[in-house]
Amino acid sequence: MSRTTTPGISRRSILIGSATAALAAVAAPGAASAAARTPKVLVIGLDGTLLSRVRDADAPRLKALMAAGLTAPSSIYADPMAPTMSGPGWSTLITGVWPDKHNVKDNNFTGHQFAQYPDFLTRIETAKPSLSTYAVSSWAPITDMVFSSKVDTRVSTPSAEYDTGTTSRAVTRLKSADPDAVFVQLDNVDHAGHSYGAASRQYLDAIHGVDTQVGAMVDALTSRATYGNEDWLILITADHGHTDAGGHGGSTWPERQTFMIAVGGTVNAGSTRYDVKMPDVAATALAHLGVAIDPAWALDGRPIQQPTPDDFDGLRAKLTGPVDETGIGAGVIGFTHTPPTGWSVDNSAMGTGGVTEWRGWTFTTDEFWTRAERDQQRECNVRARNVFAVADGDEWSDKAVSATYDSTLVSPDFPVTGGRPATLTYTTFYRQESPQKGEVLVSYDGGTPVSVKTYTSDVPSRTETVTLAVPSGVTRAKVRFRYTGGNNWFWTIDGVKISGS
């Protein structure tokens, strides 16, 4: 493919073979720094596409992009937060918040909160009105409902043209205009999933079709005369998955699947991450364009450019497969009782017996934990990322137990300054049934733990913020999460830190 570059300036080139295409950064001698190039974003949404089936399909362009950048498999919610449908899915991806904030619970968009949580193109227009924004979709509600009128151009492709028309419009815009942020949605994979199922040849063929269309958009982007002066970030994602038989909306693992493929910017080639979540698409696009994310926006997404792994995430390589659980499936890796360095679990008051995986605080993943038992709201633990800690009296009691569930997760020491307030933050999800109780206790310099938070009623997935009155003269604080109960429900903890002292 021919391309136009500017001598002496950083450029990206497409390397095309008979079956592959990869986006690669090439810095010419004396090239300008990446900061000197103009940041731009292309987000491509592939409705109802499973990453596992992309890997099975004849999809050279998508696979080449994966090799050239980041691949991040992810999972979403299920009822009662929202069904795994397009309305909630696209709203989450585009606004950067989960359904409990944007309030889209189906494809009717009734009661949506887009005024409070607008789409990322609208946030770009508000922060930097000189930037050019463009959205085109094969599924009209995205451009008719989710993106606001502040977006420079919104196009709902006529149904007779479908993805062909959506692709041609996107290609024309990328080639002939000067867009800064572009969103494109293609629908045919979802159509094939509904008609034939995700296990079908037709579904793979539909992935091959959108692969060609993605390639056409990438070629249009890299053929721009100004491409060498531009820093394009390409993000590819999906709103939900599909069952093998076809369909979505339920809580099965295939229906809850999504992903992010990211190429460009500061993304490392051939990388894989497990801490990326659906709302990160919007946050990542904003960050790349230099739009500061205001904490008052209450976004759930965080930019992939700013990873914040916690201690639990380091356990991923140590997770093992099921022992007593029979419904999770062979080959699903997902639990350990061994805490990360500096952490401990006190099971001295814990009853005996029960399901091995869940005796005391356990470190696990969304896939492993939710497969243990579906449709009991475990799927709504959306704000935990990668590996998290869970105390699950319900699952533990699925085998005979003696005494009660009494386990305490103990943090390492955090530095604090005596006499100055500090802030304890952590992500949590708590489902209550009496006599269950969750309690957060803090001790200073090895002293007696003091209760700072108690849970005796349901708490949806959220980030907790607890202000600590740090006593004078102390230098260390340790946090304990104690869960007591029996055959009740569960409590999850993730992202624990103390700051501000």
The per-residue pLDDT for range 33-51, each reduced to its tens digit, is 556 899 999 999 999 999 9
Residue 306 lies in a domain: no
User: What end-to-end distance do the CA atoms of the chain give, in Å?
Assistant: 57
* Among candidate residues 171, 213, 231, the one with its CA nearest the CA of residue 61: 213
**How far, in Å, CA of 154 to CA of 148, rounded?**
9
Provide the total of helices (H) and of strands (E) in the chain, helices listed first. 12, 24
d(CA 468, CA 498): 9
Domain that holds residue 386: 311-499
Are 206 and 64 in the same domain?
A: yes
230 with 290, same domain: the answer is yes
351 lies in the same domain as 420: yes
Do 344 and 227 reside in the same domain of the chain?
Answer: no
* SS percent in the chain: helix, strand, coil, step 5: 25, 30, 45
- Tens of pLDDT, residue by residue over 429-460, are 999 999 999 999 999 999 999 999 999 999 99
- Find the CATH number of the domain harbouring 356: 2.60.120.260
Work out the pLDDT band at 501, boundaries 50, 70, 90. Answer: low
The verdict on residue 438 lying in a domain is yes
Q: What percent of the chain has pLDDT over 70?
A: 93
Instruction: Check whether residue 187 and residue 236 sit in a common domain.
Output: yes
| Residue that terminates a domain, selected from 297, 323, 347 | 297
Same domain as 423, residue 334: yes
Three-state secondary-structure class, residue 82: coil
Average pLDDT, the chain: 92
Residues 380 and 235 in one domain: no
Which CATH number goes with the domain that contains 117?
3.40.720.10
List Cβ neighbours of 403 (8 Å cut-off, separation of 6 or more).
350, 351, 352
The answer to the question of residue 190 being in a domain is yes
In a domain, 1, yes or no: no
Same-domain check for residues 250 and 110: yes
Task: Flag whether 460 is in a domain.
Answer: yes
Count up the domains in the chain and report the number: 2
Task: Please give the pLDDT value at position 309.
Answer: 85
* CA atoms in the 13 A half-sphere facing the CB of 247: 6
- Please tell me whether residues 280 and 361 are part of one structural domain: no
Is residue 266 assigned to a domain? yes
Same domain, 290 and 331: no
Does 2 map to a domain? no
pLDDT in tens, 242-285: 999 999 999 999 999 999 999 999 999 999 999 999 999 999 99
Judge if 201 and 323 occupy the same domain: no
247 and 373: one domain? no
Q: Count CA atoms within 13 Å of residue 90 on its CB side.
A: 31
